[in-house]
Structure 1
Amino acid sequence: MSLAAQTHGFLTPTGVEIAFLLVGLVTFGAALVTVTTRQLVHAALWLVVALGGLAVEYLLLTAEFIAWVQVLIYVGSVVVLLLFGLMLTKAPIGRSPDADSGNRWAALTVAVAAATALVWVVVDAFRATWIDLDGAAAGSTKVTGASLFQNWVLPFEALSVLLLAALVGAIVLSRRAKATAAASSAAADAPGGRPAEEGVR
């Protein structure tokens, strides 16, 4: 038995476990605010907090490579892409009534069902799995990088194409909005577009 086990006991939480729990609660709260707020910009910023909390959780699990990938790809790319999309499409900064579709109970039902299925799949898949703590660290940069660039190259590249497609879609939507606004302005400036002024003349 190790010194840590003799000091803390089997069920006594350590400092890392307490920090893991606290960061998990903050992450859960940020995720909850992200999906319940009606302000799109605030939702994006709270998403940064939620994804950053996940990165801290990975660090506490000594999976430093996954933690920095979380920061670089999700916080540094996905959220920035989301903010660019909000700016290019001129989304309202304040409260947006369009952000509430009125299907909260249906969304909650789907979310609970998906979470239940995910937990069941993970528990069933790793029920008889044992981790060799004396072997090489599974979350180290060398092991994870080798697995990523040997077995997961295609999904990694597909993710980059998906991000590019989202950015191109935001640009197309912004240009279409500008074209619609220009057409409306041209129609208003046409000779028949100002009947009030003609009446005054």
Structure 2
Amino acid sequence: MTNTTYTVIFYLFAAITVFSAAFVVFSKNVVYSAFSLLFTFFGVAALYVFLSADFIAVTQIIVYVGGILVLLLFGVMFTNKIMVTNLKTEVLNVVPGILLLITITGGLIYTFLTRADWYTTVDQLQGSVVEKIGFETMSRYVLPFEMASILLLLALIGAAFLARFDNPRKMNEK
């Protein structure tokens, strides 16, 4: 494919990501927001593919689409009286949000045009980075990796303890 084809495809995925993210923010229906979040996550994963970060793209799809989005949809769908309750959100604070948007966008454009030194290269990454990530994770960074897994396990145990139906404090009071 030519360079212009890559550019067109990149801008297509960038537009899908931005417009679906805007729909997530401005939609008043929670279910529509969750489904448009699906397109946002897939758009971000496609942008990672364009950055030759295939491992992060697959992780984006597995973790965010397969885990977080499904959990969010189940949470919305399994709430009590979903058919009776009108799930609408109020879009508030539009003026401060627009001011913040203009400020951050202006800062990014200023940095992009005046402060950043952009380095370009014609060298492309060869092969996949998954092998390098796996080697570094299991050799040099094995201790932080294991500490993160223990922390996540403790968070899971704590969440399960807090979500129990039979609260131990209530059982002691009876």
Give the alignment's TM-score, normalised by structure 1: 0.57
1:30 counterpart letter in structure 2: S
1:27 to 17, 24, 30: 17
For residues 147 and 54 of structure 1, what CA distance do their matches in structure 2 show? 25
Of 50, 53, 62 in structure 1, the residue corresponding to residue 43 of structure 2 is 53
Deviations 1:44-100 (CA, angstroms, capped at 9, x unpaired)? 110011110111122233321111011011111111122233234448577544x21
Structure showing greater radius of gyration is 1
Q: What residue number does 2:65 align with?
A: 75
Change (3 A) 1:148 1:119: farther
Question: Structure 2: any 5+ residue segments left out of the alignment?
Answer: 166-174
Cα offset for 1:127? Answer: 2.1
User: 1:148 and 1:71, CA in 2 relative to 1: closer, same or farther beyond 3 A?
Assistant: farther
Q: Given that residues 30 and 50 in structure 1 are in contact (C-alpha distance below 8 angstroms), is that contact kept between their aligned partners in structure 2?
A: yes
Matches of 1:82 and 1:108, distance apart in 2: 27
TM-score normalised by length of structure 2? 0.64
Native 8 Å contact 2:28 2:91 kept in 1:
no
C-alpha displacement of 1:122? 7.9
Cα deviation, residue 39, structure 1: 0.8
State the one-letter code of the partner of 1:157.
A
In the alignment, does 2:159 pair up with 1:157? no
5+ residue gaps, structure 1, are 176-201
1:142 and 2:123 matched? no
Q: 1:69 & 1:26 partners in 2: Cα distance?
A: 20
Q: What's the offset of the Cα at 1:114?
A: 4.4
Which of residues 47, 55, 75 is equivalent to 1:85? 75
Q: 1:52-201, aligned counterparts within 5 Å?
A: 52-90=42-80, 92=82, 96-97=87-88, 99-100=89-90, 102-114=92-104, 127=117, 129=119, 131=121, 133=123, 136-137=125-126, 140-146=129-135, 150=140, 153=144, 157=148, 161=152, 168=159, 172=163
Q: Does 1:17 align with 2:7?
A: yes
Which has the higher relative contact order, 1 or 2, with Cα contacts under 8 A spaced 6 or more apart?
Answer: 1
Q: Secondary structure of 1:14's match?
A: helix
Evaluate the alpha carbon distance shift between residue 109 and residue 61 of structure 1 in structure 2; reply closer, same or farther with a 3 A threshold: same
Higher share of residues assigned helix: 1
Identical residues among aligned pairs (%): 21
- 2:117 and 2:128 mapped to 1: Cα distance? 20
1:40 paired with 2:30, answer: yes
